[in-house]
Structure 1
Protein backbone atom coordinates (compact mmCIF):
# COMPACT_ATOMS: atom_id res chain seq x y z
CA UNK A 1 0.00 0.00 0.00
CA UNK A 2 1.33 3.45 -0.93
CA UNK A 3 1.96 5.75 2.01
CA UNK A 4 0.15 9.15 1.83
CA UNK A 5 3.53 10.82 2.39
CA UNK A 6 5.10 9.06 -0.59
CA UNK A 7 2.61 10.42 -3.12
CA UNK A 8 4.37 12.53 -5.73
CA UNK A 9 3.07 15.96 -6.58
CA UNK A 10 1.45 16.55 -9.95
CA UNK A 11 3.40 18.00 -12.87
CA UNK A 12 0.94 20.91 -13.04
CA UNK A 13 1.79 21.81 -9.45
CA UNK A 14 5.51 21.62 -10.21
CA UNK A 15 5.00 24.06 -13.07
CA UNK A 16 3.02 26.40 -10.83
CA UNK A 17 5.70 26.35 -8.13
CA UNK A 18 8.41 26.97 -10.72
CA UNK A 19 6.43 29.98 -11.96
CA UNK A 20 6.06 31.34 -8.41
CA UNK A 21 9.76 30.83 -7.69
CA UNK A 22 10.60 32.73 -10.88
CA UNK A 23 8.32 35.59 -9.82
CA UNK A 24 10.08 35.78 -6.46
CA UNK A 25 13.48 35.80 -8.15
CA UNK A 26 12.38 38.63 -10.44
CA UNK A 27 11.06 40.62 -7.46
CA UNK A 28 14.39 40.22 -5.68
CA UNK A 29 16.20 41.41 -8.81
CA UNK A 30 13.95 44.46 -9.15
CA UNK A 31 14.91 45.55 -5.64
CA UNK A 32 18.44 46.39 -6.76
CA UNK A 33 17.44 48.46 -9.82
CA UNK A 34 17.30 51.79 -7.89
CA UNK A 35 20.87 51.12 -6.73
CA UNK A 36 21.93 50.33 -10.29
CA UNK A 37 20.39 53.63 -11.45
CA UNK A 38 22.30 55.39 -8.67
CA UNK A 39 25.57 53.85 -9.86
CA UNK A 40 24.79 55.01 -13.39
CA UNK A 41 24.57 58.59 -12.18
CA UNK A 42 28.09 58.55 -10.74
CA UNK A 43 30.86 60.42 -12.51
CA UNK A 44 34.54 59.49 -12.51
CA UNK A 45 35.41 62.11 -9.89
CA UNK A 46 32.64 61.22 -7.43
CA UNK A 47 33.60 59.66 -4.11
CA UNK A 48 31.82 56.30 -4.00
CA UNK A 49 31.64 55.99 -0.22
CA UNK A 50 30.26 59.51 0.09
CA UNK A 51 27.48 58.64 -2.35
CA UNK A 52 26.77 55.46 -0.40
CA UNK A 53 26.48 57.44 2.83
CA UNK A 54 24.25 60.05 1.21
CA UNK A 55 21.91 57.36 -0.09
CA UNK A 56 22.09 55.06 2.92
CA UNK A 57 18.29 54.94 2.98
CA UNK A 58 18.17 53.24 -0.42
CA UNK A 59 20.68 50.62 0.64
CA UNK A 60 18.81 50.02 3.91
CA UNK A 61 15.51 49.66 2.04
CA UNK A 62 17.11 47.16 -0.35
CA UNK A 63 18.59 45.07 2.49
CA UNK A 64 15.34 45.11 4.49
CA UNK A 65 13.16 44.06 1.58
CA UNK A 66 15.62 41.40 0.40
CA UNK A 67 15.55 39.78 3.85
CA UNK A 68 11.77 40.13 4.10
CA UNK A 69 11.10 38.55 0.69
CA UNK A 70 13.62 35.77 1.34
CA UNK A 71 11.95 35.05 4.68
CA UNK A 72 8.49 34.93 3.10
CA UNK A 73 9.72 32.68 0.28
CA UNK A 74 11.30 30.29 2.77
CA UNK A 75 8.02 30.07 4.68
CA UNK A 76 6.13 29.44 1.44
CA UNK A 77 8.69 26.81 0.41
CA UNK A 78 8.26 24.92 3.69
CA UNK A 79 4.46 25.05 3.41
CA UNK A 80 4.22 23.69 -0.14
CA UNK A 81 6.53 20.76 0.56
CA UNK A 82 3.44 18.76 1.40
CA UNK A 83 1.33 19.93 -1.53
CA UNK A 84 0.25 17.20 -3.94
CA UNK A 85 -1.99 18.87 -6.51
CA UNK A 86 -2.77 22.39 -7.72
CA UNK A 87 -6.35 22.42 -6.52
CA UNK A 88 -8.34 25.62 -6.90
CA UNK A 89 -7.80 26.90 -3.35
CA UNK A 90 -4.06 26.25 -3.43
CA UNK A 91 -3.71 27.68 -6.95
CA UNK A 92 -5.30 31.02 -6.12
CA UNK A 93 -3.57 31.31 -2.75
CA UNK A 94 -0.19 30.85 -4.43
CA UNK A 95 -0.93 33.34 -7.21
CA UNK A 96 -2.27 35.93 -4.75
CA UNK A 97 0.79 35.43 -2.55
CA UNK A 98 3.09 35.85 -5.57
CA UNK A 99 1.27 39.11 -6.34
CA UNK A 100 2.18 40.52 -2.91
CA UNK A 101 5.83 39.62 -3.48
CA UNK A 102 5.93 41.14 -6.97
CA UNK A 103 4.31 44.29 -5.57
CA UNK A 104 6.91 44.79 -2.80
CA UNK A 105 9.60 46.46 -4.97
CA UNK A 106 7.21 49.41 -5.43
CA UNK A 107 6.83 50.40 -1.75
CA UNK A 108 10.51 49.52 -1.30
CA UNK A 109 11.39 52.20 -3.85
CA UNK A 110 9.27 54.65 -1.86
CA UNK A 111 11.01 53.97 1.46
CA UNK A 112 14.10 56.13 0.91
CA UNK A 113 12.21 59.26 -0.18
CA UNK A 114 8.78 58.94 1.47
CA UNK A 115 9.32 56.30 4.16
CA UNK A 116 7.92 58.56 6.87
CA UNK A 117 4.58 58.99 5.09
CA UNK A 118 1.63 56.99 6.39
CA UNK A 119 0.72 55.88 2.88
CA UNK A 120 4.17 54.32 2.36
CA UNK A 121 3.95 52.48 5.68
CA UNK A 122 0.50 51.14 4.82
CA UNK A 123 1.65 49.98 1.38
CA UNK A 124 4.84 48.35 2.67
CA UNK A 125 3.81 46.76 5.95
CA UNK A 126 0.30 46.16 4.64
CA UNK A 127 1.76 44.08 1.79
CA UNK A 128 3.65 42.00 4.35
CA UNK A 129 0.47 41.52 6.38
CA UNK A 130 -1.50 40.33 3.35
CA UNK A 131 1.39 38.08 2.28
CA UNK A 132 1.53 36.39 5.70
CA UNK A 133 -2.26 36.01 5.81
CA UNK A 134 -2.18 34.33 2.39
CA UNK A 135 0.55 31.97 3.63
CA UNK A 136 -1.78 30.95 6.45
CA UNK A 137 -4.53 30.23 3.90
CA UNK A 138 -2.00 28.37 1.76
CA UNK A 139 -1.01 26.21 4.73
CA UNK A 140 -4.67 25.42 5.34
CA UNK A 141 -5.06 24.41 1.68
CA UNK A 142 -2.03 22.10 1.82
CA UNK A 143 -3.25 20.57 5.10
CA UNK A 144 -6.38 19.41 3.30
CA UNK A 145 -4.15 17.36 0.97
CA UNK A 146 -2.38 15.48 3.77
CA UNK A 147 -3.83 13.25 6.52
CA UNK A 148 -3.56 14.18 10.21
CA UNK A 149 -0.19 13.24 11.66
CA UNK A 150 1.64 13.53 8.37
CA UNK A 151 5.08 15.18 8.73
CA UNK A 152 4.35 17.00 5.47
CA UNK A 153 1.20 18.60 6.87
CA UNK A 154 2.13 22.26 7.52
CA UNK A 155 1.00 24.32 10.47
CA UNK A 156 -1.15 27.40 9.96
CA UNK A 157 0.04 28.99 13.21
CA UNK A 158 3.44 30.47 12.16
CA UNK A 159 1.99 32.39 9.21
CA UNK A 160 -1.07 33.44 11.23
CA UNK A 161 1.15 34.75 14.03
CA UNK A 162 3.25 36.64 11.48
CA UNK A 163 0.10 38.25 10.08
CA UNK A 164 -0.92 39.38 13.57
CA UNK A 165 2.59 40.72 14.24
CA UNK A 166 2.54 42.59 10.93
CA UNK A 167 -0.78 44.14 11.93
CA UNK A 168 0.64 45.25 15.28
CA UNK A 169 3.79 46.58 13.57
CA UNK A 170 1.66 48.59 11.14
CA UNK A 171 -0.37 50.15 13.95
CA UNK A 172 2.75 51.03 15.96
CA UNK A 173 4.51 52.45 12.92
CA UNK A 174 1.54 54.66 12.03
CA UNK A 175 0.53 55.72 15.54
CA UNK A 176 4.11 56.28 16.80
CA UNK A 177 5.97 57.78 13.80
CA UNK A 178 9.24 57.97 15.73
CA UNK A 179 9.41 54.16 15.65
CA UNK A 180 9.57 54.22 11.83
CA UNK A 181 9.86 50.57 10.65
CA UNK A 182 11.47 49.23 13.82
CA UNK A 183 8.24 47.45 14.84
CA UNK A 184 8.97 44.95 12.05
CA UNK A 185 11.62 43.54 14.36
CA UNK A 186 8.70 42.04 16.28
CA UNK A 187 8.67 39.36 13.56
CA UNK A 188 11.66 37.82 15.34
CA UNK A 189 9.56 37.58 18.50
CA UNK A 190 6.68 36.22 16.43
CA UNK A 191 8.80 33.29 15.31
CA UNK A 192 9.58 32.34 18.89
CA UNK A 193 5.94 32.84 19.86
CA UNK A 194 4.81 30.39 17.17
CA UNK A 195 7.19 27.74 18.47
CA UNK A 196 6.01 28.19 22.06
CA UNK A 197 2.34 28.10 21.04
CA UNK A 198 2.84 24.82 19.17
CA UNK A 199 4.70 23.29 22.10
CA UNK A 200 2.23 24.40 24.74
CA UNK A 201 -0.99 23.79 22.81
CA UNK A 202 -0.17 21.08 20.21
CA UNK A 203 -3.88 20.38 19.69
CA UNK A 204 -4.18 23.75 17.93
CA UNK A 205 -2.25 22.20 15.07
CA UNK A 206 -4.74 19.37 14.50
Structure 2
Protein backbone atom coordinates (compact mmCIF):
# COMPACT_ATOMS: atom_id res chain seq x y z
CA UNK A 1 0.00 0.00 0.00
CA UNK A 2 1.36 3.43 -0.96
CA UNK A 3 1.99 6.23 1.48
CA UNK A 4 -0.83 8.29 -0.08
CA UNK A 5 -3.30 5.45 0.54
CA UNK A 6 -2.16 5.18 4.18
CA UNK A 7 -2.58 8.89 4.82
CA UNK A 8 -6.17 10.16 4.27
CA UNK A 9 -4.99 13.77 4.47
CA UNK A 10 -2.59 13.32 1.56
CA UNK A 11 -5.41 11.84 -0.54
CA UNK A 12 -7.57 14.88 0.19
CA UNK A 13 -4.79 17.24 -0.79
CA UNK A 14 -4.17 15.30 -3.99
CA UNK A 15 -7.82 15.32 -5.10
CA UNK A 16 -8.23 19.03 -4.31
CA UNK A 17 -5.33 20.14 -6.50
CA UNK A 18 -6.17 22.32 -9.56
CA UNK A 19 -7.17 20.20 -12.53
CA UNK A 20 -6.04 22.60 -15.23
CA UNK A 21 -3.62 25.46 -15.38
CA UNK A 22 -5.25 28.86 -15.65
CA UNK A 23 -3.07 29.71 -18.64
CA UNK A 24 -4.48 26.85 -20.69
CA UNK A 25 -8.02 27.77 -19.67
CA UNK A 26 -7.51 31.40 -20.65
CA UNK A 27 -5.99 30.46 -24.01
CA UNK A 28 -8.92 28.15 -24.72
CA UNK A 29 -11.48 30.81 -23.83
CA UNK A 30 -9.73 33.41 -25.99
CA UNK A 31 -9.93 31.00 -28.93
CA UNK A 32 -13.63 30.33 -28.33
CA UNK A 33 -14.41 34.05 -28.20
CA UNK A 34 -12.44 34.69 -31.40
CA UNK A 35 -14.30 31.92 -33.22
CA UNK A 36 -17.68 33.19 -32.00
CA UNK A 37 -16.91 36.71 -33.20
CA UNK A 38 -15.85 35.33 -36.57
CA UNK A 39 -19.03 33.27 -36.92
CA UNK A 40 -21.11 36.44 -36.63
CA UNK A 41 -20.04 37.51 -40.11
CA UNK A 42 -20.91 34.29 -41.96
CA UNK A 43 -24.60 35.10 -42.72
CA UNK A 44 -23.52 38.45 -44.15
CA UNK A 45 -20.97 36.77 -46.40
CA UNK A 46 -23.63 34.42 -47.76
CA UNK A 47 -25.90 37.37 -48.56
CA UNK A 48 -23.08 39.18 -50.36
CA UNK A 49 -22.69 36.18 -52.66
CA UNK A 50 -26.41 36.20 -53.42
CA UNK A 51 -26.36 39.91 -54.27
CA UNK A 52 -23.31 39.41 -56.46
CA UNK A 53 -25.02 36.65 -58.44
CA UNK A 54 -28.00 38.97 -59.03
CA UNK A 55 -25.66 41.80 -60.09
CA UNK A 56 -26.98 44.11 -57.37
CA UNK A 57 -25.03 47.05 -55.93
CA UNK A 58 -23.43 47.55 -52.52
CA UNK A 59 -25.95 50.30 -51.78
CA UNK A 60 -28.81 47.86 -52.38
CA UNK A 61 -27.10 45.37 -50.10
CA UNK A 62 -26.88 47.88 -47.25
CA UNK A 63 -30.48 48.99 -47.77
CA UNK A 64 -31.87 45.46 -47.77
CA UNK A 65 -29.62 43.97 -45.09
CA UNK A 66 -29.48 46.91 -42.69
CA UNK A 67 -31.17 44.95 -39.92
CA UNK A 68 -28.71 42.08 -40.17
CA UNK A 69 -25.78 44.50 -40.38
CA UNK A 70 -26.99 46.21 -37.20
CA UNK A 71 -27.42 42.91 -35.35
CA UNK A 72 -23.90 41.87 -36.42
CA UNK A 73 -22.35 45.12 -35.17
CA UNK A 74 -24.32 44.97 -31.91
CA UNK A 75 -23.36 41.38 -31.12
CA UNK A 76 -19.73 41.95 -32.12
CA UNK A 77 -19.57 44.88 -29.70
CA UNK A 78 -21.28 42.95 -26.91
CA UNK A 79 -18.95 39.95 -27.24
CA UNK A 80 -15.96 42.30 -27.30
CA UNK A 81 -17.12 43.98 -24.08
CA UNK A 82 -17.77 40.61 -22.44
CA UNK A 83 -14.29 39.44 -23.43
CA UNK A 84 -12.61 42.60 -22.10
CA UNK A 85 -14.49 42.20 -18.82
CA UNK A 86 -13.50 38.54 -18.67
CA UNK A 87 -9.87 39.37 -19.47
CA UNK A 88 -9.69 41.92 -16.65
CA UNK A 89 -10.74 39.20 -14.20
CA UNK A 90 -8.72 36.26 -15.49
CA UNK A 91 -5.55 38.22 -16.12
CA UNK A 92 -4.83 37.72 -12.42
CA UNK A 93 -6.19 34.18 -12.04
CA UNK A 94 -3.35 31.68 -11.67
CA UNK A 95 -5.06 28.36 -10.88
CA UNK A 96 -8.26 26.65 -11.96
CA UNK A 97 -10.37 24.16 -10.02
CA UNK A 98 -12.99 21.86 -11.45
CA UNK A 99 -15.82 24.17 -10.34
CA UNK A 100 -14.17 27.22 -11.89
CA UNK A 101 -13.67 25.35 -15.17
CA UNK A 102 -17.35 24.43 -15.35
CA UNK A 103 -18.37 28.03 -14.65
CA UNK A 104 -16.25 29.02 -17.62
CA UNK A 105 -17.66 26.26 -19.80
CA UNK A 106 -21.10 27.71 -19.10
CA UNK A 107 -19.86 31.21 -19.93
CA UNK A 108 -18.35 29.99 -23.21
CA UNK A 109 -21.66 28.32 -24.10
CA UNK A 110 -23.45 31.66 -23.88
CA UNK A 111 -20.79 33.29 -26.08
CA UNK A 112 -20.93 30.53 -28.72
CA UNK A 113 -24.73 30.73 -28.76
CA UNK A 114 -24.75 34.45 -29.63
CA UNK A 115 -23.99 33.99 -33.37
CA UNK A 116 -27.10 31.79 -33.61
CA UNK A 117 -29.25 34.29 -31.71
CA UNK A 118 -27.81 37.10 -33.84
CA UNK A 119 -28.71 35.30 -37.07
CA UNK A 120 -32.28 34.96 -35.75
CA UNK A 121 -32.35 38.65 -34.85
CA UNK A 122 -31.30 39.65 -38.33
CA UNK A 123 -33.38 37.20 -40.36
CA UNK A 124 -36.47 35.92 -38.54
CA UNK A 125 -39.69 37.78 -37.69
CA UNK A 126 -39.55 39.67 -34.41
CA UNK A 127 -41.27 37.77 -31.59
CA UNK A 128 -41.01 37.13 -27.85
CA UNK A 129 -39.01 33.91 -28.23
CA UNK A 130 -36.39 35.68 -30.33
CA UNK A 131 -35.92 38.30 -27.61
CA UNK A 132 -35.78 35.61 -24.95
CA UNK A 133 -33.07 33.71 -26.82
CA UNK A 134 -30.98 36.82 -27.50
CA UNK A 135 -31.26 38.97 -24.38
CA UNK A 136 -31.59 35.83 -22.26
CA UNK A 137 -28.17 34.68 -23.49
CA UNK A 138 -26.68 38.04 -22.47
CA UNK A 139 -28.28 37.73 -19.04
CA UNK A 140 -26.97 34.19 -18.63
CA UNK A 141 -23.46 35.30 -19.58
CA UNK A 142 -23.55 38.12 -17.04
CA UNK A 143 -24.86 35.81 -14.30
CA UNK A 144 -22.11 33.28 -14.98
CA UNK A 145 -19.47 36.00 -14.65
CA UNK A 146 -21.14 37.06 -11.40
CA UNK A 147 -20.90 33.46 -10.21
CA UNK A 148 -17.25 33.38 -11.28
CA UNK A 149 -16.43 36.49 -9.28
CA UNK A 150 -18.23 35.13 -6.22
CA UNK A 151 -16.31 31.87 -6.54
CA UNK A 152 -12.99 33.69 -6.82
CA UNK A 153 -13.89 35.77 -3.79
CA UNK A 154 -14.32 32.58 -1.78
CA UNK A 155 -11.09 31.07 -3.14
CA UNK A 156 -8.34 33.70 -2.88
CA UNK A 157 -5.70 30.99 -3.31
CA UNK A 158 -6.58 30.80 -7.01
CA UNK A 159 -5.75 34.40 -7.89
CA UNK A 160 -4.00 37.65 -6.99
CA UNK A 161 -6.97 39.99 -7.39
CA UNK A 162 -7.16 42.70 -4.73
CA UNK A 163 -10.26 42.42 -2.49
CA UNK A 164 -11.33 45.95 -3.40
CA UNK A 165 -11.12 45.13 -7.09
CA UNK A 166 -13.23 42.03 -6.55
CA UNK A 167 -15.81 44.07 -4.66
CA UNK A 168 -16.08 46.61 -7.49
CA UNK A 169 -16.34 43.79 -10.00
CA UNK A 170 -19.15 42.16 -8.07
CA UNK A 171 -21.07 45.44 -7.98
CA UNK A 172 -20.61 45.83 -11.74
CA UNK A 173 -21.83 42.30 -12.48
CA UNK A 174 -24.85 42.67 -10.21
CA UNK A 175 -25.82 45.93 -11.92
CA UNK A 176 -25.37 44.47 -15.41
CA UNK A 177 -27.34 41.32 -14.55
CA UNK A 178 -30.21 43.39 -13.16
CA UNK A 179 -30.27 45.65 -16.22
CA UNK A 180 -30.23 42.69 -18.60
CA UNK A 181 -33.09 41.10 -16.63
CA UNK A 182 -35.17 44.30 -16.71
CA UNK A 183 -34.43 44.78 -20.41
CA UNK A 184 -35.56 41.23 -21.13
CA UNK A 185 -38.84 41.65 -19.26
CA UNK A 186 -39.61 44.96 -20.99
CA UNK A 187 -38.63 43.67 -24.44
CA UNK A 188 -40.89 40.62 -24.09
CA UNK A 189 -43.87 42.29 -22.43
CA UNK A 190 -43.82 45.54 -24.41
CA UNK A 191 -43.29 44.62 -28.10
CA UNK A 192 -43.39 48.27 -29.20
CA UNK A 193 -40.23 48.90 -27.20
CA UNK A 194 -38.56 45.60 -28.07
CA UNK A 195 -34.77 45.62 -28.23
CA UNK A 196 -34.72 49.35 -27.50
CA UNK A 197 -35.10 48.26 -23.86
CA UNK A 198 -31.39 47.43 -23.97
CA UNK A 199 -30.66 51.16 -23.88
CA UNK A 200 -31.18 50.70 -20.14
CA UNK A 201 -27.61 49.37 -20.14
CA UNK A 202 -26.48 52.99 -20.46
CA UNK A 203 -27.48 53.32 -16.80
CA UNK A 204 -24.82 50.77 -15.79
CA UNK A 205 -22.07 53.31 -15.15
CA UNK A 206 -24.10 55.69 -12.94
CA UNK A 207 -25.69 52.78 -11.06
CA UNK A 208 -22.30 51.19 -10.37
CA UNK A 209 -20.92 54.50 -9.11
CA UNK A 210 -23.85 55.01 -6.74
CA UNK A 211 -23.64 51.48 -5.34
CA UNK A 212 -19.86 51.70 -4.96
CA UNK A 213 -20.19 54.94 -2.97
CA UNK A 214 -22.87 53.45 -0.70
CA UNK A 215 -20.85 50.28 -0.20
CA UNK A 216 -17.76 52.31 0.64
CA UNK A 217 -19.71 54.45 3.10
CA UNK A 218 -20.97 51.35 4.91
CA UNK A 219 -17.45 49.93 5.14
CA UNK A 220 -16.18 53.13 6.74
TM > 0.5 fold call: yes
| Partner residue of 2:50 out of 28, 37, 41 | 41
Higher mean C-alpha deviation, range 20-29 or range 10-19: 10-19
Number of the residue aligned with 1:191: 205
| Partner residue of 1:21 out of 20, 24, 30 | 30
TM-score normalised to the size of structure 2? 0.82
TM-fit CA distance, 1:197: 0.6
TM-fit CA distance, 1:15: 0.4
Structure with higher helix content: 2
Cα 1:82–1:141 change in 2 (3 A) is: farther
Cα 1:153–1:159 change in 2 (3 A) is: closer
| Partner residue of 2:92 out of 78, 82, 87 | 82
Higher mean C-alpha deviation, range 195-204 or range 76-85: 195-204
TM-fit CA distance, 1:109: 0.2
Aligned positions of 1:130-169 closer than 5 A: 130-146=140-156, 150=163, 153=166, 155-169=169-183
Cα 1:200–1:151 change in 2 (3 A) is: closer
TM-score normalised to the size of structure 1? 0.87
Gaps in structure 2 of 5+ consecutive residues = 1-17
Number of the residue aligned with 1:116: 126
Structure showing greater Rg: 2
2: CA distance, partners of 1:56 / 1:107: 17
Aligned-pair Cα RMSD in Å: 2.3
2: CA distance, partners of 1:203 / 1:92: 35
Cα 1:56–1:124 change in 2 (3 A) is: same
